[in-house]
Structure 1
């Protein structure tokens, strides 16, 4: 049996991603079993209901329980269940043959759940899946197609606001998934950091900057937020780390145009002059070719404490326009909480 490692030891990317997913489960379980049970309840509830399976998680404590021949005063029990995970980098990577072999690995008496984890939800409704579904039913196995996005949402949902350490862990897992291209939603995502003290620099140089040590998802769009609204929006064309020495940009992780270098230099100088911020080392820059004014308002009281991500499809039901100018105009009629 292969143990879960805190540091990846796999060369195959699917094993690498599975290991980090198991690590997320492991850390949530160690942190708080109640939170972990909430996570599993979300992931399993709908699938188990559809399959007609009833299940409970955790220790059950009852009193005055009949045994058939007597009634005991107290009774503690915990139902056993098994979960297997098959991970693919593409939903069409699952095959009926492989999943069928996985199903036969479950005990006919105990059954269990088989997660089919991929960036987009796997489709197992075709005729070539009929024998697999029949075998799963016979063994009491529920096939559960889930996405990395589903897992992240369920993990976030099982935590309270004050679970700061675990929220940071889930955020790091989310960033990992984004970096690996496992979140298709990123191409519709608006990254919105608070820019109350830097927005003039951000707008003038069409960029956002923050420490290189801060993990951020590979969102397609940048929103400059201040005064309770996203007031400017651009499409992120490059995310680059670099240093600035003697008025020159050096060590850039992406090839930069002369205009991009000038904008980075100007932002660095303005940040030092206006706020005393040193951007010459350990900084990452989110660069946009163009930026347009908009008014995507926060409708609830108070500002935002940290960055936010918005799936623009939830606010633009007619679709996300390709032109930034059109997107900026469409967002003027939308609000968020």
Structure 2
């Protein structure tokens, strides 16, 4: 097993903060543009961020044209980390006293819980009142926000293997330390390629047993830049299968297996026509497996499986009331990057 880049021995806030800073520092070490990109994404692109010197020539001034000009813009980011609660607004805003007038100032609240819209308004009003001459951008962040923004940086630079490892290690660290709990609305979808017809026919998918460490509720089959089918999971079975003897050996299952599930699994593996050892099989419901067209907008296919939080595409209150078939219909009108 590969050693992770992030400490996992403590839940204390200083360790979590250390690992967030380590992730950002590693991102900057890999490429300054990666670090610039994630800061701008976290800020919703509301302002350009300058983490390094700007080299400019032929700059207009009141006294003429300056031939060469090098500018280093001051910036400060203050991060207040909480694990599963929110900081008091009065205490949070006091941290802004370190900011300077002529600088790019960002105040981050990082936690598993977000402030409400009303609380964000209160924070912004208090910052303006207490520091009237200082421009301060407040970012109301969850650990999931950091993961997703880092994923966006990686998805735009999939050629960079070190960036891939950084993203995967930080994502896994946050989930393993229970800093993120979004499984109720999470969709896992997998590229199928040549096996698509088999997956669709038998309503099944297999992969190495250590894949997909995050919890999820919805499962999708992806092909040709779109999620084509979604469902929930009926059961997960780890098993060996010998094509010569047609013998199925089950090691473990998420739920108690039924005769029908074992019959389906064996039939599917005979149809696949190869022996398999120690793989994990997702059995999808026979009667609740729905066609959709949840399309990828950006160029290129996906590199491995993906997770998407459906709350980003369907309003939470609406989502809570929808059946899987209705979610499939809603996703036909949605796109993702």
Task: Tell me, yes or no, whether TM beats 0.5.
Answer: yes
Q: 2: CA distance between counterparts of 1:334 and 1:70?
A: 54
Q: Does 1:151 find its partner at 2:152? A: no
3-state DSSP class of the match of 2:191?
Answer: coil
CA distance in 2, matches of 1:55, 1:332: 34
Q: Is the 8 A contact 2:112 2:142 kept in 1?
A: yes
Instruction: Flag structure 1 segments of 5+ consecutive residues without an equivalent.
Output: none
User: Which of the residues 136, 139, 142 maps onto 2:137?
Assistant: 142
Asked if 1 retains the 8 angstrom alpha-carbon contact of 2:93 and 2:123, the reply is no
| 2:295 corresponds to 1:274 | no
Q: Deviations over 1:222-256 (max 9, x none)?
A: 1234577655432236667x465985433x4x753
Q: Deviations for 1:167-200, whole angstroms, at most 9, x for unmatched residues? A: 4532443354455555565433322212345457
Q: Number of paired residues?
A: 320
Would you say 1:82 and 2:76 are equivalent positions? yes
Tell me the C-alpha RMSD between the 2 structures: 4.5
SS at match of 1:170: helix
2:293 is matched with: 297
Change (3 A) 1:98 1:11: farther
In 2 relative to 1, CA 69–234 (structure 1 residues): closer, same or farther, beyond 3 Å? Answer: closer
Tell me the residue number matched to 2:250: 249
Consecutive unaligned residues of structure 2, counting only runs of 5 or more, are 242-246
Q: 1:102 maps to what in 2?
A: 95
TM-score by length of 2: 0.70
User: 1:31 corresponds to which residue?
Assistant: 30
1:113 to 99, 106, 112: 106
Q: Once the 2 structures are TM-superposed, how far is the Cα of residue 63 of structure 1 from its aligned partner?
A: 4.2
The alignment partner of 1:258 has SS state of coil
Matches within 5 A, 1:280-291: 280-281=277-278, 283-288=279-284
2:244 alignment partner in structure 1: none
Q: Post-superposition shift, 1:297?
A: 3.0
Query: Do the aligned partners of 1:232 and 1:295 also contact (CA within 8 Å) in 2?
Result: yes
Give TM-score, length-normalised by structure 1.
0.70
Compared CA separation, residues 203 and 73, structure 1 to 2 (3 A): closer
Offset, 1:59: 0.6
CA distance in 2 between counterparts of 1:172 and 1:268 reads: 35
